[in-house]
A and B are shown apart, each in its own frame.
Chain A
């Protein structure tokens, strides 16, 4: 999951350095992520992980670091898997 997130940050984040250099808890906004690029990144993540971020996750904190993105995705893919199992 983390390597995919890094790849998407490279594609959409427009940071000043490659995402491999990012620590997992490093602040993406301080690393140059703009609000415009953040939306592109969210769309990329939705597509890559086949999820839809609910409104409550569409805030600054949810996408502030690789770790926070992982936490959101884990919650969503967890729900997703349970739904699949249930159906």
Chain B
């Protein structure tokens, strides 16, 4: 087996080759998905006992960076898939059905999508209107899913719903729905500013599946213990990849200018330094988040603590702000060559893709949540702990 690095470099090269077409045409990055399957990276985080590679979240985050440098839509598809995998790995191992499903994912390289957003609820994924209706061994679900990224290309969808028709809106479960158990009726398209390849269209989802496919833990626990943290960490990693590529382009621009006119430093060169300074902040923020997550995974109380939730929220709001600032610095360096499409210094796609970062789970919603937690949480003053 080739190393993780070699495997992901090959996938990133494929993503780079098609990123312009994916963006221009607003189409799914089929080539990246195929390359991920060939590199056997879709089951990478599944434990070895179920046929996966038992990769850590750190390693998956590195792959998100590498893909984010080339094609943010590809990176987001990979990240969202791995976030669903982390829920299965963390919360599905006590269930025979989910164990077998993990084996299938690793063997057949299945792609997972997520249906957490719902009409009438908006981005508040901790509430559902729709409910699972159980009838003997089977359950039925109808969901007005306003966003399901790459649903049309996924092999299974993990959907949230209330536990039963009489359950509270926050008493949710997460259920695995296989492609052939779902009917998807498209309700909205995805002609967007950026992240155009994620094809995050809306659907009326209707599915009937065995009750055994419901994850054995309440969604509240899944969200708190794996989903929110891995989302913020993997998203921030791929945004870091976008930012890194933008800074590289700015560096290349200044180097090319100085070669052309050796005695004249371009006026925007100072912004490379500012961009590098913010890139370092972004890296520290995300890396510290990963370190904190790895620590919390060994301590259930820490994983569900208010301090941990605050830290993960901060990773996301910080990274999503910084990525836009960094690309803007790069734009000031490259000037018209960055603003134009189809130059080696083009930054339009970077900026458009990055604008989604502050919106996917709105930063205002996250800051509102954090400010509530800060009513009771006392901030730690230690620099290293």
Q: List residues of A whose CB falls within 8 A of some B CB.
A: 15-16, 29-36, 39, 42-43, 46, 53, 55-56, 58-61
- A29, B218: Cβ atoms under 8 Å? yes
Give the Cβ gap from B11 to chain A, nearest Cβ, in Å: 36
Q: Is B301 an interface residue (CB 8 A)?
A: yes
Given contacts A32-B171, A39-B375, A55-B378, contact A60 B304 (CB under 8 A): yes
Within 8 Å CB of B171, what residues of A?
30-32
What's the Cα separation between A79 and B282 when bound, in Å? Answer: 42
Q: Is B369 an interface residue (CB 8 A)?
A: yes
- A59, B304: Cβ atoms under 8 Å? yes
- B304, A29: Cβ atoms under 8 Å? no
Name the one of B169, B170, B377 contacting A29, with C-beta atoms under 8 angstroms: B170
**How many residues of chain B get a CB closer than 8 Å to chain A's CBs?**
25
Q: Is B224 an interface residue (CB 8 A)?
A: yes
Cross-chain pair count, CB within 8 angstroms: 59
**Which chain B residue shows the least CB distance to A16?**
B168
Give the Cβ gap from A82 to chain B, nearest Cβ, in Å: 22
What's the Cα separation between A53 and B307 when bound, in Å? Answer: 13
Give the Cβ gap from B125 to chain A, nearest Cβ, in Å: 12
The 3 closest A-B pairs by CB, nearest first: A60-B304, A32-B168, A59-B305
What's the Cα separation between A14 and B302 when bound, in Å? Answer: 25
**Which residues of chain B in 243-262 are interfacial with respect to chain A, using CB atoms and an 8 Å cutoff?**
none
What's the Cα separation between A87 and B375 when bound, in Å? Answer: 30
Name the one of A29, A36, A42, A61 contacting B300, with C-beta atoms under 8 angstroms: A61
Within 8 Å CB of A33, what residues of B?
170
A and B contact pairs by CB, cutoff 8 A, 26 listed = A15-B168, A30-B168, A30-B220, A31-B168, A31-B171, A32-B169, A32-B170, A33-B170, A34-B170, A35-B373, A36-B372, A39-B373, A39-B375, A39-B376, A43-B375, A43-B376, A46-B376, A55-B378, A56-B301, A59-B301, A59-B305, A59-B306, A60-B224, A60-B305, A61-B300, A61-B304
Q: Is B321 an interface residue (CB 8 A)?
A: no
What's the Cα separation between A34 and B172 when bound, in Å? Answer: 12
**Which chain B residue shows the least CB distance to A58?**
B306
- B218, A55: Cβ atoms under 8 Å? no
Q: Is B27 an interface residue (CB 8 A)?
A: no
Within 8 Å CB of A29, what residues of B?
170, 218, 220
**Which chain A residue shows the least CB distance to B300?**
A61
List 9 additional A-B contacts (Cβ < 8 Å) besides A15-B168, A30-B220: A29-B170, A29-B220, A31-B168, A32-B168, A32-B170, A34-B126, A55-B378, A58-B377, A59-B306
What's the Cα separation between A23 and B289 when bound, in Å? Answer: 38
Within 8 Å CB of A58, what residues of B?
305-307, 376-377
Within 8 Å CB of A31, what residues of B?
168, 171
Within 8 Å CB of B304, what residues of A?
59-61
**Which chain A residue shows the least CB distance to B169?**
A32
Q: Mark B227-253, 1 if CB is under 8 A from A, else 0.
A: 000000000000000000000000000
Give the most central of B170, B304, B373: most A CB within 10 Å.
B170
What's the Cα separation between A42 and B374 when bound, in Å? Answer: 12
**Which residues of chain B in 125-152 are interfacial with respect to chain A, using CB atoms and an 8 Å cutoff?**
126
**Which chain B residue shows the least CB distance to A17?**
B168
Within 8 Å CB of B301, what residues of A?
56, 59, 61
Within 8 Å CB of A39, what residues of B?
306, 372-373, 375-376
**Which residues of chain B in 327-385 are interfacial with respect to chain A, using CB atoms and an 8 Å cutoff?**
369, 372-373, 375-378, 380
